[in-house]
Chain A
Amino acid sequence: MKIAVSATAPDLDALVDPRFGRAPYFIIVDPDSMQFETMENSSGSAPGGTGISVAQAIVGKGVQAVLTGSCGPNAYEVLSAAGVQIIAGVSGTVRDAILSFKQGKLASTPAPDVPPHFGRTDELTSGH
């Protein structure tokens, strides 16, 4: 099994990034062996559509579940269309998030939990 976790830095002790599309890294972990690979998210500064492209990249990695702080409607649509389990509202370190997941403490998020453009920090400068 492969689990992708949005992260603020490229290792298991990094904090879970509260954003999905704008997270700087994803840690892709095998929860049984705790072996992991990191995926850098280069679309963090793109004007829009980042949730979609990141979700597609994660699907391409063969991931079965995503742990993150929040997930907007477009990313949610792509991930759920590919059958990826989405668990939002996750915080703490990547390692702890994986452990909680293994212990069955985390429940799937049934719908997008934030509006579009949630993770944008420059929303005041309209990005048309």
Chain B
Amino acid sequence: MRGGGDVIVSVASGKGGTGKTLVATSLALAVSERTSVQILDCDVEEPNANLFLRASIERTEPVYVPTPRIDADRCNHCGRCAEVCAYHAIASLPSKVIVFPELCHGCGACSYLCPESAIVEANRQVGVVEVGYRGNLELVQGRLNTGEPMPTPVIRKTKMYIDGQTDNHRDVIIDVAPGTSCPVVEAVN
């Protein structure tokens, strides 16, 4: 990491409380003394990198998951939506369709495959991405709403702030959630 060279370093660990955030923030601060750097807090269930960094948050953007809304007038209860939902977020009963928004991953299969075009997608906010600065350092932190079960959409959105594609080649440090499950895979992917 000589600076100016868009290297991405993810700090991860199968065990929580081992010092990931301390290492990630220390790395970011060390780099920021010489050149511009981005740090992403992808531990969106409890983002805490800013406890160490004290960056001032300047922008907050909502994160949405598109979830199905059933048009009861068009629905003929064929059950196709429940059949194609990989996450069991829809129950199709003989005279009623029930949506469980917290199980929905927002894949869009139900609305795409509904033969009656009876499903529209409505955005449901599940969290925010906050952007802050401290000198050469830009902090991007995802924050999942309390009680939401699914952190991956917030992590995905947080990572969209990596500016590798622009001329602004900065090194990127990613603070990853503990464990080895989906949030970790999404963060290091």
Contact = CB atoms under 8 A, between A and B. Distances in A.
Interface of A: 43, 46, 48-50, 52-53, 55-56, 59, 74, 77-78, 81-82, 125-128
Interface of B: 82, 87-94, 96, 98, 100, 103, 149-152, 179, 181-183
A52 B94 contact: no
Nearest to A55: B91
Contacts, number: 53
Contacts of A43: 88
A51 to B, nearest CB: 8
Given A81-B96, A128-B149, 15 more contacts: A46-B88, A48-B87, A48-B103, A53-B82, A55-B91, A56-B91, A74-B100, A74-B103, A78-B98, A81-B98, A82-B93, A125-B181, A126-B181, A128-B151, A128-B181
Nearest to B103: A49
B96 to A, nearest CB: 6
| Shortest Cβ-Cβ A-B pairs, 8 listed | A49-B88, A128-B182, A78-B91, A52-B88, A53-B88, A56-B91, A82-B93, A126-B181
Contacts of A125: 181
A49 B103 CA distance: 7
A125 B182 CA distance: 11
30 contacts: A43-B88, A48-B103, A49-B87, A49-B88, A49-B89, A49-B100, A50-B88, A52-B88, A52-B89, A52-B90, A52-B91, A52-B98, A52-B103, A53-B91, A56-B92, A59-B93, A74-B103, A78-B91, A78-B93, A78-B98, A81-B91, A82-B94, A126-B179, A126-B181, A126-B182, A128-B149, A128-B150, A128-B151, A128-B152, A128-B182
B152 to A, nearest CB: 6
A88 B91 CA distance: 21
B33 to A, nearest CB: 36
Report which residue of B88, B103, B183 has the largest number of chain A beta carbons within 10 angstroms of its beta carbon: B88
A96 to B, nearest CB: 30
A85 B62 CA distance: 41
Contact of B96 (A50, A55, A74, A82): A82
Nearest to B87: A49
A81 B93 contact: yes
Contacts of B100: 49, 52, 74
A77 to B, nearest CB: 6
A11 B103 CA distance: 33
Contacts of B89: 49, 52
A2 B170 CA distance: 65
Contacts of A128: 149-152, 181-183
A40 B172 CA distance: 50
Report which residue of B100, B150, B179, B183 has the largest number of chain A beta carbons within 10 angstroms of its beta carbon: B100
